[in-house]
């Protein structure tokens, strides 16, 4: 007898005994009434098909969007995003490779399907498999919410904050004059946080002039945006632990919200060394896949903020688990989001239910551009735009939107575009 048969038999026996004890004299035990939403769930719902969409929305972009639509025999559909910078074609193929794990399955069994795709891959997931799983998982949660008649954040126990999800834009300003204008716009819109970066590319041991330039750029940010704006600075793993430690120490008086990826995230011990040398909060996580990958960072107390990306880490299921693991370790969440609108919206649902969430990224500026106008064309509303410093939460079931497939078809997939490649002065490969 296998364990499924054993436990199934034990449960049936227990249920029979309970029914016998509960049965009134002269009658039988009646089935308890179910809540209306649960009673309305079809006893059998199955995924019958999947459509993938590679969307080249900008000719020179390294991240053509990868969307997936799951269809069911009950007419309910779910949308997800699996965009991966530089590897769109590989992710599209991987979603197709995974069909045996979700076609014909009950979409309500989200965790079971996630485990099958991850564990039965045998080799632990990298960004390609992680992104494919992420898109499928988001679509499953979308279906689950629609079937149960609730937004996904309510299924997760949210919202924590009725105002929505606090967010930040990217600071697309360099000069004091531009920063002053940005601060004025932020005040008018209620935006309370921005992120920017540091200039150039860095050798393992860097010159004093280069370090001073990086420090000065961060100081100009603080001077231009003022003390009431929270500022994150992304090092993008361009610096070595030595260079990062110097810069982090120098900018401590500026009280930054965080410094992101001061060195490559796979170098746990080096990042821990940087963290021990500064009081500036350290953030990382956008390149991590699955919640398992955060364990060492959390156990060692290496970071203050995790920034896992829902489109890479493994969808709603994995991001939710990262948040729970982080909360237990006294770590906060500020998820990364620099791809398309579906993943961005899916992230808001997880944010809204995490007690240790602090702020949500969107790789957009204060002023909408061509990209944001496309999103509105596809979804029918201004996706991922803040109101009074907060992303509004959808009130519709599931992820809260539908996609105009005809609008997507105007931007057919034109192949994978590689990410940026940069070199140091001597010709050696540089991180960016």
Contact 297, 303 (CB under 8 A): yes
Q: Identify the bridge partners of residue 195 per DSSP, sorted by sequence position.
A: 170, 232
Contact 431, 201 (CB under 8 A): yes
Q: 3-state SS of the chain: helix, strand, coil percent to 5? A: 40, 15, 45
Closest CA to 171 of 193, 200, 187: 193
Residues 170, 312, 336, 411: which is the catalytic one?
A: 336
Taken as a whole, the chain contains a residue count of 432
DSSP state of 168: E
Q: Is 424 a catalytic residue?
A: no
Q: What are phi and psi of 209, to 5 degrees?
A: -65, -40
Contact 285, 294 (CB under 8 A): yes
Closest CA to 286 of 305, 300, 270: 305
Closest CA to 299 of 326, 263, 270: 326
Contact 61, 129 (CB under 8 A): no
Q: Give CA separation, 262 vs 138, 198, 239, 251, 284, in Å.
A: 30, 11, 6, 13, 8
How far is it, in rounded angstroms, from Cα 270 to Cα 248? 14
Q: Is 291 a catalytic residue?
A: no
Phi-psi region of 261 (alpha: psi -120 to 50; beta: other; left: phi over 0): left
Closest CA to 211 of 219, 202, 220: 202
Record the tokens describing residue 415, joined without a space: 């192949």
Give the active site residues.
236, 336
């Amino acid at each position: 007898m296998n364990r499924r048969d054993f436990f199934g038999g034990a449960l049936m026996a227990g249920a029979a005994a309970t029914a016998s004890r509960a049965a009134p004299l002269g009658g039988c035990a009646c089935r308890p009434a179910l809540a209306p939403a649960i009673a309305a769930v079809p006893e059998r719902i199955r995924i019958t098909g999947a459509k993938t969409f590679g969307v080249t929305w900008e000719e020179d972009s390294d991240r053509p969007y990868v969307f997936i639509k799951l269809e069911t025999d009950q007419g309910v559909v779910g949308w997800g995003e699996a965009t991966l910078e530089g590897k769109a074609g590989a992710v599209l193929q991987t979603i197709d490779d995974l069909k045996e794990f979700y076609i014909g399955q009950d979409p309500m069994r989200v965790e079971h399907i996630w485990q099958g795709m991850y564990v039965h891959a045998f080799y632990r997931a990298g960004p390609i498999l992680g992104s494919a799983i992420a898109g499928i998982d988001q679509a499953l949660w979308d279906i689950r919410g629609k079937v149960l008649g609730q937004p996904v954040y309510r299924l997760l126990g949210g919202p924590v904050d009725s105002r929505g999800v606090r967010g930040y834009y990217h600071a697309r300003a360099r000069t004091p004059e531009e920063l002053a204008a940005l601060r004025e716009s932020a005040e008018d819109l209620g935006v309370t946080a921005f992120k920017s970066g540091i200039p150039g590319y860095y050798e393992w041991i860097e010159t004093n002039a280069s370090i001073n330039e990086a420090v000065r750029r961060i100081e100009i940010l603080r001077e231009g945006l003022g003390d009431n704006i929270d500022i994150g600075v992304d090092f993008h793993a361009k610096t070595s632990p030595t260079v990062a430690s110097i810069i982090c120490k120098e900018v401590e008086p500026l009280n930054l919200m965080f410094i992101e990826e001061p060195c490559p995230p796979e170098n746990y011990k080096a990042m821990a060394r940087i963290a021990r040398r500064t009081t500036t909060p350290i953030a990382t996580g956008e390149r991590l896949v699955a919640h398992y990958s955060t364990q060492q960072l959390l156990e060692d107390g290496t970071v203050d903020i995790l920034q896992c990306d829902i489109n890479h880490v493994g969808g709603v299921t994995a991001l939710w688990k990262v948040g729970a693991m982080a909360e237990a370790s006294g770590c906060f969440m500020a998820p990364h989001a620099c791809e398309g609108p579906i993943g961005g919206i899916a992230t808001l649902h997880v944010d809204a239910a995490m007690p240790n969430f602090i702020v949500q990224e969107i790789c957009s500026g204060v002023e909408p551009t061509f990209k944001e106008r496309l999103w509105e064309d596809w979804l029918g509303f201004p996706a991922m735009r803040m109101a009074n410093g907060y992303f509004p939460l959808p009130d519709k079931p599931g992820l809260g939107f539908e996609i105009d497939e005809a609008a997507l078809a105007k931007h057919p997939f034109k192949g994978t575009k590689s990410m940026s490649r940069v070199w140091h002065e001597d010709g050696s490969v540089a991180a960016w």
